[in-house]
Structure 1
Amino acid sequence: MNNTNKPMVTSHPGSRLLKAVLLLLLFPLGFIMGMISMANFPHFYESPIIPPILLSSSLAPSPSATPMPTPTPPSPSPETQCLCPPPLSSTPTPSSPSPPPAERPATPRGLMSFITPSGVMHDMTDDELLWRASMAPKVSRTPYTRVPKVAFLFLVRNQLPLRPLWEKFFAGQKHELYTIYVHSFPPFAATLPTDSVFHGRMIPSQRTTWGDANLVEAERRLLANALLDQSNERFALLSESCIPIYDFPTIYTHLTGSNNSFIDCFDNASARVRYKPDIFTPHNITISQWRKGSQWFEMDRALAVEVVSDEAYFPAFRDCRRCVIDEHYIPTLVSILGWRRNANRTLTYMEWQPKNPHPRRHGAEDVTVELLMKMRGGAGNNCTYNGAASNVCFVFARKFSPDSLGPLLELAPKIMGFG
C-alpha cells in the first residue's frame, strides 16, 4: 500500500500569536485615530454619525454590510448660534439682510455729562446730595472751555408772582450764562408754560418755616444742586418778592467780575443777644465769632462748597430753637473760616422798619421812578467794588408784593433797561 505524503495544514502557534498582537495594536491605533479626527473635526461625529470607537473596531467591514446613509445635520434651534460652516455649493445662495440691532437708550458718557447735568430732578437724599456737591477739583486748569455762569436760586413758598418780570429780564440771554433753580413750598402752585425759563427748574424741595433751621437747609439744598453744574461760578439767593434793578448784562458782569462774595456780616449787641453758650460753645463757636446779616447772599463757588460741606458747625445751628438762624449761620461761618474774600454787605436792597423784624413791603402804589432810582443809587451808601469806589451798591431789591407787577413791567424798560 503506497502512502502518499501530503502536506498537513497546521496552524503554527507563532502565527496565532502574531495575529493577536496585530489586533491588539490595531485597536488602540483606531482609538487614537478617532480621537485625533474628533479634535480636528469636532462636528463630524455629532449624532447620528457613527462614533469613532465603532469605526476603529471594524477596519475591514464585511462585504455584506449595508453602507449607512449620509446623515443630514440637524437644523440649529433659534436660540442657539450655528457654529457649523455653510454647505459648499457651486451656486451662491443670496444672503438675507441681518436684522438691525435692538435700539437701546443712549447712556450719557464723557466729560460733558459730568460738567452740565441735563436736568435738576434726582432721587438723591440730602446727605447724598451734599456729599456729591462738596467735591471740588484740585486741578485749577480745566480741560474744556469754561464760561462762568450765574446761578439764580429762588427760595419761594408756593408761587412766583413776579415771574413775568423775570421772564423779561432773561429774554434773549444766552443759556450758557445762567442757570435757574427753584426751591418751593410743596406743592408748587404755579402752572408754568413749557417755553418759560422756569419750566423744569424746580429741585427736590421740602417744607420751610420762617426762622427755622429748615430754611437754611433749603439754602444749602439750592447751593448743592447748583454746584452739580461745574460751570456755575456765582450763586445769588432770591425770594419770590425779589426783583432785578439792572439788566442782565450789567448784573452778570458785576457778579462774575467781582473778586469777593457778598455776605452781610456784622457784630453788634443785637446780634449777640441770640448767642446761646450752652449750644454753640461745645461746637467751638465763640461769641467773638458770632455774626448777623441779611439772609439774601451772593457768593462765589469756593464759599458755596464750604457751606454745603460744613459738618462741624451747622449741627449746632440746627439744634438751636428760636435763633432765626437764617440771619446768623452763613455770616458766622464766614467769620469762623476767616473768609477774606467778602465785601461784608449784601447786593439785595431792603428798607428796614423800626422795631420790625421784616423789611418794608412795596405795593403797586409804591413803585415809582424815585423808588427804583433810590434803590439803584444805593440810597446814600458808599460802596466799593474790587477795592475801588462804585456807584452800584445793589443789583436786586425786595420786598415787592404781587400787585406791584404791573407798574414794574411798565417801568422796567425805562429804569432797569430790559423789557
Structure 2
Amino acid sequence: MRARTERDELSKDLSAGVTKPLCFLIVFVIGIVIGLASSSHVDRYFTSQPYNLNRGRESIPPNSPSTSSITQTTYDQKCTTSTDIVTNCVKDECLSMKSFLSQKNLNHNMTDEELFWRASLVPDKAHYPFDRMPKLAFMFLTRGPLPFIPLWERFFKGQDVRKYSIYVHTSPEFDLGVSNSSVFYNRQIPSQVVEWGTVSLVDAERRLLSNALLDFSNERFILLSESCIPIYNFQKIYKYLTKSIYSYLDSYDDPSRYGRGRYNTYMKPEIRIRDWRKGSQWFEMHRALAIKIISDSKYYDLFKKYCTDDCYPDEHYMPTFVHMFYGELNSDRTVTYVDWSVGGPHPVIFEGGNITKGVLESLRKSGKNCVYNKGTTDVCYLFARKFDPSALEPLLEISSVVLEY
C-alpha cells in the first residue's frame, strides 16, 4: 500500500512538471500571435493615413520620396498646389529670403482671411536686407479675356522685369490661355465669382491688392479693367508714379441721389453722411495705403451689411474709408481717363472707328492742370478706358507714333 501511494505521488509530480512548461509555452505562443496581429493592424492604420501638412491641403502619399522632409514646410510657404509641394519646397528653400520676398507661382489655397492677414505684415525695420527695386503692380480685374494683351505686351517689351509685376483676377473657371512667352503667362491669381454692383467687386480688388502685396518689391498698385490701355510709355508712367508722394484714388462728395442718396443711416455712428464719398473704382495707390485697406475689417463689414441693392460699394467703400482716415496720403483723383459726357450709367466706348491720332492725343492732354506732389502738372491721366476690342488693330498701328511704345 505504501509503495502504491509513493507511485501516485511521483506521477502527480511528473504531471505537474510537464503541465507548467506546457501552459507557459501555450501562453507564449498566444502572446506572439496577438502581438503580430496588433502590429499588422497598427501598421495598416498608419500606412493608410494621409500625410496632411494642414487641414484643407492636398495629402502626400506615404510612399512619396518627399515625406521625410515634411517638417521643412511652413503653414503658408507653398511652392505649388500639387502633391509635390514638399519636394519643391526642399529644392527651392521655402524658408529662404528669396521665396519670402516674392512668389514664383501665384497659386495658393489660402482663404481671403488668411491672405489678407499675410499681406498685412509690415516690417518694422526700415532698411531692406536686399537690393529693392520699386515695382509697379499692374492688377487686371476682368471676367474673361484681356483683348488688349498684344498692346500691353508691346508696352512691357524691353522693360526691366524688376520694375513691374502683373496680376489677373478672372472668373474662377476662366483660363487666359496665353503662351509661356507672354508676360501674362501664369499671372492669374486664385479668384472668386464677382457680381457687378455688389461687395464682391470690393473683395476682388482687395484680393488683387493682397496677392500683389506678397511681393515686397511692389511699391505702387494700379487697378485696371480689360478695356484699359496705357496712354504713355512704361518709362513715363514708372517715373510719374514712383516719384509721387500721393496715391490716386478718386474721392469726392456727391450731394445727389447717386452719391449721398446711397448712404444708409444704419452706418452711424461709425460712418456719418458728412464722411460719405464717391469715386471711380479704377485707382492707383502706394503700398502704405494698400496695406491699410486690406487690413480693415470694421468698415468693410459695415459696407458689406448696409451698402446693398443700389448702393454700389465699389464706388464708395475705398473713397469713404480713405477720406476718413488717410486723406493726407491721397490726391482725391484718378489717373485713369473715362468719358462720361454722354450721361447715363455707362461711359463712352471707344470703338475701332474712333481711334485716331487726334483722339489719343486728346486723352493725354486734358486741357487742365492737376495737382502732383507739391505742384501741378498737365499730365493728369496715365491710362484710359473704355476701349472696345475692335480698337486693338488701330491702336497697334499708331501706338508707336502717338503713345511712344
Q: TM-score surpassing 0.5?
A: yes
Provide the C-alpha distance between the structure 2 equivalents of 1:342 and 1:127, rounded to a whole number of angstroms: 26
TM-score, structure 1 normalization: 0.73
Given that 1:158 and 1:186 are in contact with CA atoms closer than 8 Å, whether structure 2 keeps it comes out as no
The correspondence of residues 208-287 of structure 1 with structure 2, limited to 5 A, is 208-270=194-256, 271-278=259-266, 280-281=267-268, 284-287=270-273
1:390 maps to what in 2? 377
Q: Name the SS of the counterpart of 1:238 in structure 2.
A: strand
* Structure 2 residue 299 is matched with structure 1 residue 313: yes
Distance apart, 1:237 and its partner CA: 0.1
Which string of whole-angstrom CA distances, capped at 9 and with x for unpartnered residues, describes residues 363-414 of structure 1? 001111111111101x222212112121211000000011100001011100
Given that 2:229 and 2:385 are in contact with CA atoms closer than 8 Å, whether structure 1 keeps it comes out as yes
Given that 2:289 and 2:329 are in contact with CA atoms closer than 8 Å, whether structure 1 keeps it comes out as no
2:171 maps to what in 1? 185
Distance apart, 1:199 and its partner CA: 0.5
**Percent identical residues:** 48
Provide the C-alpha distance between the structure 2 equivalents of 1:108 and 1:295, rounded to a whole number of angstroms: 35
Provide the C-alpha distance between the structure 1 equivalents of 2:393 and 2:190, rounded to a whole number of angstroms: 31
Distance apart, 1:189 and its partner CA: 4.6
Q: Name the SS of the counterpart of 2:323 in structure 1.
A: helix
Provide the C-alpha distance between the structure 1 equivalents of 2:341 and 2:364, rounded to a whole number of angstroms: 20
2:41 maps to what in 1? none
1:203 maps to what in 2? 189
Given that 1:295 and 1:327 are in contact with CA atoms closer than 8 Å, whether structure 2 keeps it comes out as yes
1:347 maps to what in 2? 335
Given that 1:346 and 1:394 are in contact with CA atoms closer than 8 Å, whether structure 2 keeps it comes out as yes
Provide the C-alpha distance between the structure 2 equivalents of 1:288 and 1:384, rounded to a whole number of angstroms: 24
Provide the C-alpha distance between the structure 2 equivalents of 1:408 and 1:187, rounded to a whole number of angstroms: 30
* Structure 2 residue 394 is matched with structure 1 residue 407: yes
The gaps in structure 1 that reach 5 residues or longer are: 1-101
The gaps in structure 2 that reach 5 residues or longer are: 1-67, 70-86
2:290 maps to what in 1? 304
TM-score, structure 2 normalization: 0.75
* Structure 2 residue 354 is matched with structure 1 residue 375: no
Provide the C-alpha distance between the structure 2 equivalents of 1:287 and 1:356, rounded to a whole number of angstroms: 25
Q: Name the SS of the counterpart of 1:269 in structure 2.
A: coil
Q: Which amino acid aligns with 1:351?
A: D
Q: Which amino acid aligns with 2:334?
A: T
Q: Which amino acid aligns with 2:381?
A: F
Given that 1:158 and 1:187 are in contact with CA atoms closer than 8 Å, whether structure 2 keeps it comes out as no
Q: Which has the larger radius of gyration?
A: 1
The 3 A distance-change label for structure 1 pair 402 and 354 is closer
1:325 maps to what in 2? 313
1:18 maps to what in 2? none
Given that 1:153 and 1:237 are in contact with CA atoms closer than 8 Å, whether structure 2 keeps it comes out as yes
Provide the C-alpha distance between the structure 2 equivalents of 1:188 and 1:401, rounded to a whole number of angstroms: 20
Q: Name the SS of the counterpart of 1:197 in structure 2.
A: coil
Between stretches 177-186 and 234-243, larger displacement belongs to 177-186
Structure 1 stretches of 4+ with a deviation exceeding 4 A read 102-105
Which string of whole-angstrom CA distances, capped at 9 and with x for unpartnered residues, describes residues 188-225 of structure 1? 25311010000000000011111110011000000000
Provide the C-alpha distance between the structure 2 equivalents of 1:276 and 1:354, rounded to a whole number of angstroms: 29
| Candidates 99, 119, 123, aligned match of 2:105 | 119
Q: Name the SS of the counterpart of 1:237 in structure 2.
A: strand
The 3 A distance-change label for structure 1 pair 134 and 350 is same
Q: Which amino acid aligns with 2:293?
A: V
Higher helix proportion: 2
Q: Which amino acid aligns with 2:301?
A: P
Q: Name the SS of the counterpart of 2:329 in structure 1.
A: coil
Provide the C-alpha distance between the structure 1 equivalents of 2:262 and 2:358, rounded to a whole number of angstroms: 37
Distance apart, 1:148 and its partner CA: 0.4
| Candidates 163, 169, 175, aligned match of 2:161 | 175
Between stretches 155-164 and 317-326, larger displacement belongs to 317-326
The correspondence of residues 89-100 of structure 1 with structure 2, limited to 5 A, is none
Given that 2:282 and 2:336 are in contact with CA atoms closer than 8 Å, whether structure 1 keeps it comes out as yes
The correspondence of residues 2-17 of structure 1 with structure 2, limited to 5 A, is none
Given that 1:349 and 1:398 are in contact with CA atoms closer than 8 Å, whether structure 2 keeps it comes out as yes
Given that 2:172 and 2:190 are in contact with CA atoms closer than 8 Å, whether structure 1 keeps it comes out as no
Provide the C-alpha distance between the structure 2 equivalents of 1:158 and 1:355, rounded to a whole number of angstroms: 27
Provide the C-alpha distance between the structure 2 equivalents of 1:376 and 1:239, rounded to a whole number of angstroms: 19
